[in-house]
Amino acid sequence: MGALANQLPIGLSIAAVLLLIALGLTFTFGQMGVINMAHGEFIMAGAYTAFLLQGVTSQSFLIALPVAFAVAGLMGLLLEWSLIRRFYGRPLDTLLLTWGVSLVLQQLARDLFGAPNVQVTAPGWLVGGVDVLGLRLPYNRVFIIGLAVVCVVGVWLYLTRLPAGRRMRAVVQNRELAAYSGIATGRVDRFTFLLGSGLAGVAGVALTLVGPVGPSLGTFYIVDAFLVVVAGGLGQLRGAVLAAVALGFLNGYLEFWTDASLAKVLVFVAIIAFLQVRPQGMFVLKGRALV
């Protein structure tokens, strides 16, 4: 029982990282129909930002969070502006296109930082943990969970309270109608990309707390993050949250009960089974289009 309960913060922190990654994907996918395989490399860029900044000041880990957001966000913006906007309406082509970009970015990281993994030293106040009701809570896991909560609340406030967020929801729901109503959809698209890629960068910084940083860091998480999007439903904040938590726990506990190699297969089977019941994911935007 103790071991089972100790799995809780691990499962939740996996979910938190998945959520940070999936948020960007679900909005770029839901809003623009773009499947961004290079999203994983934005995670990597965020992680390397934390690596480069460490030791610069005493609080460089906290500084790394906004810097990584900016670095990854600008990379996303550049990608959208230079290539992806030519490909709207061709989701499968964007998938392949961004995969090509991701190959180039990975090799670039290998040339810049070397192929071996590097380590980011966690700040002193994140080392150790606290016992709550006999449950061991490592500080780094708690921090990641807190970070994800802050980001999700931020995105939610943005979507519901700010004019820019309302415009974004309008474009997700009906692009043409939004355009006719005077919303500059192109600008909204670019901003969504900036936001989503930036969150991936933040996720990258969070990942340095639980493991080493390498050129292929992004590839480990991108597939699971896409599964979150598929299971949660496109462009749905609550769907992404629920699916990320479900997948994080499923991954965490299945690895604990069976061995890790079977866990991935079982997760895959579970998702196929889930799609039999809800082929569109947990939450669907109601519309009259044929599905």
Under the binding rule (CB under 8 A), the answer on residue 33 touching another protein is yes
Q: Which residue has the tokens 């966000």?
A: 73
Q: Taking contact as CB under 8 A, which single stretch among the options 123-131, 133-141, 154-162, 261-269 is the one that binds another protein?
A: 261-269
Find all residues with CB under 8 Å of 169, minimum gap 6, and list them. 159
Pairing of strands 135-138, 129-132: antiparallel
Q: What whole-number distance in Å separates Cα of residue 47 and Cα of residue 54? A: 11
The single residue among 119, 161, 223, 238 that binds another protein, judged by CB under 8 A, is 223
Q: How far is the CB of 31 from another protein (least distance, A)?
A: 13
Which of 57, 107, 117, 160 is close enough to bind another protein by CB under 8 A? 107
| Single-letter code of the amino acid located at 92 | L
For tokens 């061709």, what's the residue?
90
Judged by CB under 8 A, the residue of 68, 101, 168, 194 near another protein is 101
| 139, 160 Cβ separation under 8 angstroms | no
Q: Kindly tell me which of 120 and 207 has the beta carbon lying closer to another protein.
A: 207
Rank residues 52 and 230 by Cβ distance to another protein and give the closer one. 230
Q: Which is nearer to another protein, 209 or 244 (CB)?
A: 244
Q: Which helix (H) or strand (E) holds 183?
A: none
Select the residue interacting with another protein from 120, 209, 250, 267 (CB under 8 A): 267
- Distance (Å) of CA 116 to CA 110, 119, 178, 216, 219: 8, 10, 47, 10, 15
Angle between helices 2-32 and 237-257 (to 10 degrees): 140
**CA dist., res. 35 & res. 234, Å (int):** 11
The values of phi and psi at residue 275, to 5°, are -70, -20
- Tell which residue, 141, 143, 144, 122, has the closest CA to residue 7: 141
Q: Judged by CB under 8 A, does residue 78 bind another protein? A: no
Residue 91 is a binding residue for another protein (CB under 8 A): yes
Should residue 60 be labelled a site residue for another protein when binding is judged by CB under 8 A? no
Whichever of 110 and 136 has its CB closer to another protein, that residue is 110
Contacts 24+ apart (CB under 8 A), 79-83: 79/36, 79/38, 79/193, 79/197, 80/189, 80/190, 80/193, 81/190
183 is a contact residue toward another protein (CB under 8 A):
no
Nearest approach in angstroms of CB 261 to another protein is 2
The reply to whether 112 sits near another protein by the rule CB under 8 A is no
Taking the complex as a whole, the smallest distance from the CB of residue 87 to another protein amounts, in Å, to: 8
5: tokens are 């309960």
- Shortest approach of another protein to residue 103 CB, angstroms? 3
Dmax (CA) for the chain in angstroms is: 58
**Mask for 195-214, x = binds another protein (CB under 8 A):** --------------------
Of the candidate residues 128, 133, 182, 259, the single one contacting another protein (CB under 8 A)? 259
Q: Which residues bind another protein (CB under 8 A)?
A: 29, 33, 35, 83, 86-87, 90-93, 95-97, 99-104, 106-107, 110-111, 219, 223, 226-227, 229-230, 259-262, 264-265, 267-268, 271-272, 275-276, 279, 290-291
